[in-house]
């Protein structure tokens, strides 16, 4: 049937098949859909038919073909608050916004939305006035644009027909659980990854890296990880080390380990065209490179100059790539940073020898041309770059994850990626790219991280302080003081900018930084528990304030304050008249001076909750639970509840029962509050938790008590 879509002549495509594939999860397949034209790289597995749609199902997409390019539209009725879309700028509330889904290296990006960034999440969450919610997933990697108008959600691609999944449930939280059923959850991270990370482009020598590590320890500023940007390499050749400045990486990493640090090293996809270079030669021998339409190798300019690029659509390429990590990680490397994997390409070379390249225009600029060929294999068909561009980083991190796991099978892989696709949270954490050292980017980091969480990626955060340009002391102090409560917490700085370590801005700001980081480290037991819950359910670690009361329309736009889990409210110092949830919320102090330092975020505990906290530690090799502190805030009925999850902190023994999940409950009886707990899991926690402190927050007062898990836990309110 011919019709007009936004004034453009379109061919409407009928729905060929629809069914329920989960509780409240519907699959819609347009007539003529061919998985060899639009393979799924978003779903964790192929959904299985359960039953036909119920008679009362109301949400049906409409499919169209415009000049042989597939579109889908979901018409909206009523007042709907729209969220999601993954890595986007602009407001948290996405009504009236548009997103260009074409992964792009976009440094110092604008804050007002619309411009394409590094990742693609073709997903929208809708919340109705009554708090019920739905989500729509467009299962396509084709270059696309997504619009969230007040009366419809529209997804316009430059490729073939695709499937649509719609989740309709009683709350946004339940919808996000449904998204996780389709796309998977984050893998349980190692505990060290939740500490503070320090990075720079670049710490250029072994001596400088040691100096940074020693300064953290000398100043008693908590930190777990130091990062190596591209200058550790030999001429930007991936999987190599500079023979002068990083001549003995094993020795350096062992030194860092002795100081309680882990190390993360960058690996890009571009392989220097350099016959005689081991990685280039082995890739050429295995025939893994992306090809031009004429069948010859594609060459593009990145940091090393002319580069070839692995074709990750091919199973043998992913196997080859994964195998490269064994020798690399044997140098004591703990984690990997995949960057430039949109893929970013600044010039196109005719062959590897050419010094003069071709700069393309439009959306082809900065990456491979649309017609660049990917050969596919296994369950992936051959296809153009127009199809596979948005999946390039996703396929790369899957191969990297498998390689890291194979090299160190007794450890949980840690991988950070710049480019990704919806569903890629199964393999890698992310950060919000090359941001700018300005107040607008500081404030933007809250809705950006929130939106990633609402799009299935709970492990994210910005470069604290701003990556590009110089950072002022005031900006750093403001940013680090709430940035420590984001899921991923890293300070990072670009070459040519000022130093951005916590001590780089004078004694006063150093003290502010120490307070902020000590607050995070005290909350590591709570954070680790939240990540356990995220790995189990798909719920975000960082949540919008409206999650506290999904029917309160005044909270729907709030993007300054945010929730950590559901029980801890974070109000950054920069927040002006934030809309906060009603009910009981008691102010929480974790560190001496944290309520008087002008930069620190205000923390508030929800009535009815119990927050598990630890002591101040310098890194996660130390025992957080000596003692364990339970911070209790009673609800109007005098009750509270909370959980603590713990395991070995790394490895996979928790999968066979070596974990402890403690569920604490508090109940007020007269002037006394009794605390009880139940434990699941086989882990013996006596050596970790020998003493329990209780802090009961009530009407601005704190009542203290102490005990152990083997005795009665009570606190008197007098």
356 pLDDT tier (thresholds 50, 70, 90): low
Predicted confidence (pLDDT) per residue in 641-650, tens digit: 999 999 999 9
Q: Average pLDDT of 553-574?
A: 98
Q: Where are the beta strands (DSSP E) in 69-201?
A: 69-75, 80-84, 97-101, 119-120, 123-128, 133-139, 144-149, 152-157, 163-169, 197-198
User: CA distances (Å), 568 to each of 480, 696, 698, in order?
Assistant: 18, 15, 15
What pLDDT is stored for residue 116 in this prediction? 87
Q: Average pLDDT of 364-379?
A: 95
- 665 strand-pairing partners: 641, 676
User: What's the mean per-residue pLDDT of the chain?
Assistant: 96
What pLDDT is stored for residue 600 in this prediction? 98
The domain spans of the chain are 2-183
Please give the positions annotated as active site.
339, 342, 434
* Residues across the chain: 718
Q: Please say whether the beta carbons of 519 and 594 come within 8 A.
A: yes
- 306 strand-pairing partners: 301
Q: What SS3 class is residue 537?
A: helix
Predicted confidence (pLDDT) per residue in 163-187, tens digit: 999 999 999 999 999 999 999 999 9
What pLDDT is stored for residue 173 in this prediction? 98
What pLDDT is stored for residue 592 in this prediction? 96
- 166 strand-pairing partners: 26, 136
Q: Can you name the CATH fold of 2-183?
A: Immunoglobulin-like (2.60.40)
Q: What is the pTM of this model?
A: 0.97
| 680 vs 654: CA distance, rounded Å | 12
What pLDDT is stored for residue 9 in this prediction? 78
Predicted confidence (pLDDT) per residue in 202-213, tens digit: 999 999 999 999
| 80 vs 494: CA distance, rounded Å | 40
- 335 strand-pairing partners: 264
Surface-to-core class of residue 503, CB atoms within 10 Å of its CB (0-12 exposed, 13-18 middle, 19+ buried): middle
Predicted confidence (pLDDT) per residue in 465-491, tens digit: 999 999 999 999 999 999 999 999 999
Of residues 61, 49, 25, the one with CA closest to residue 176: 25
């Amino acid at each position: 049937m011919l019709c007009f879509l936004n004034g453009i002549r379109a061919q409407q495509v009928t729905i060929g098949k629809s069914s329920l594939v989960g509780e409240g999860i519907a699959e819609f397949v347009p007539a003529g859909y061919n998985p060899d034209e639009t393979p799924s790289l978003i779903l964790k597995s192929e959904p299985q038919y359960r039953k036909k749609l119920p008679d009362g199902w109301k949400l049906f997409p409409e499919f169209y073909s415009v000049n042989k390019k597939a579109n889908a539209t979901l018409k909206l009725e009523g007042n709907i608050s729209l969220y999601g879309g993954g890595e986007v700028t602009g407001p948290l509330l996405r009504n009236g916004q548009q997103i260009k889904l074409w992964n792009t290296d976009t440094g110092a990006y604008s804050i007002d939305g619309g411009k394409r960034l590094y990742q693609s999440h073709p997903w929208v969450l809708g919340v109705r006035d009554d708090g019920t919610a739905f989500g729509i997933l467009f299962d396509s990697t084709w270059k696309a644009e997504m619009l969230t108008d007040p009366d419809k959600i529209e997804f316009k691609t430059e490729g073939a027909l695709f499937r649509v999944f719609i989740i309709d449930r009683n709350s946004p939280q339940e919808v996000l659980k449904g998204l996780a059923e389709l796309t998977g959850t984050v893998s349980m991270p190692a505990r060290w990854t939740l500490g503070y990370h320090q990075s720079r482009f670049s710490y250029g020598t072994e001596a400088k890296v040691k100096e940074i590590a020693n300064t953290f320890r000398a100043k008693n500023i908590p930190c777990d990880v130091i990062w190596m940007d591209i200058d550790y390499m030999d001429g930007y050749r991936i999987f190599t080390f500079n023979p002068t400045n990083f001549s003995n990486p094993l020795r350096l990493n062992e030194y860092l380990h002795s100081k309680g640090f882990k190390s993360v090293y960058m690996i890009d996809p571009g392989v220097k065209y350099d016959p005689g270079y081991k990685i280039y030669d082995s890739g050429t021998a295995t025939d893994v490179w992306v090809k031009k339409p004429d069948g010859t190798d594609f060459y593009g300019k990145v940091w090393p100059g002319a580069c070839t690029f692995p074709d990750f659509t091919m199973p043998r390429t992913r196997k080859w790539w994964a195998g490269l990590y064994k020798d690399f990680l044997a140098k004591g490397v703990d984690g990997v940073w995949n960057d430039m994997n949109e893929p970013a390409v600044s010039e196109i070379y005719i062959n590897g020898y050419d010094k003069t390249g071709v700069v393309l225009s439009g959306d082809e600029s900065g990456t491979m041309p649309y017609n660049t060929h990917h050969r596919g294999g296994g369950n992936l068909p051959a296809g153009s770059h127009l199809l596979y561009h948005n999946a390039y980083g996703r396929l790369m991190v899957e191969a990297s994850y498998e390689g890291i796991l194979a090299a160190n099978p007794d450890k949980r892989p840690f991988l950070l990626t710049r480019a990704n696709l919806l569903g890629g949270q199964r393999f890698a954490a992310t950060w919000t790219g090359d941001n700018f050292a300005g107040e607008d980017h500081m404030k933007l980091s809250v809705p950006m991280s929130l939106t990633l969480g609402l799009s299935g990626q709970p492990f994210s955060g910005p470069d604290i302080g701003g990556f590009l340009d110089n950072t002022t002391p005031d900006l750093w102090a403001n940013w680090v003081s709430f940035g420590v409560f984001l899921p991923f917490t890293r300070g990072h700085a670009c070459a040519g900018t000022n130093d951005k370590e916590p001590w780089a801005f004078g004694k006063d700001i150093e003290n502010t930084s120490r307070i902020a980081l000590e607050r995070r480290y005290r909350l590591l037991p709570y954070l680790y528990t939240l990540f356990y819950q995220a790995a189990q359910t798909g719920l975000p670690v960082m949540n919008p304030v409206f999650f506290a009361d999904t029917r309160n329309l005044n909270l729907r736009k709030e993007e300054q304050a945010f929730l950590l889990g559901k029980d801890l409210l974070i109000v950054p110092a920069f927040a002006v008249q934030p809309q906060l949830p009603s009910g009981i919320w008691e102010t929480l102090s974790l560190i001496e001076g944290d309520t008087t330092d002008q930069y620190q975020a205000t923390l508030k505990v929800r009535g009815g909750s119990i927050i598990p906290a630890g002591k101040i530690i310098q890194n996660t090799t130390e025992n957080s639970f000596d003692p364990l502190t339970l911070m209790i805030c009673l609800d109007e009925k005098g009750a509270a509840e909370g959980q603590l999850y713990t395991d070995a902190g790394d490895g996979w023994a928790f999968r066979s029962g070596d974990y402890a999940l403690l569920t604490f409950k508090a109940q007020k009886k007269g002037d006394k509050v009794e605390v009880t707990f139940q434990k699941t899991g086989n882990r013996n926690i006596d050596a970790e938790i020998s003493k329990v402190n209780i802090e009961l927050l009530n009407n601005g007062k704190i009542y203290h008590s102490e005990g152990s898990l083997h005795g009665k836990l009570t606190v008197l309110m007098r």
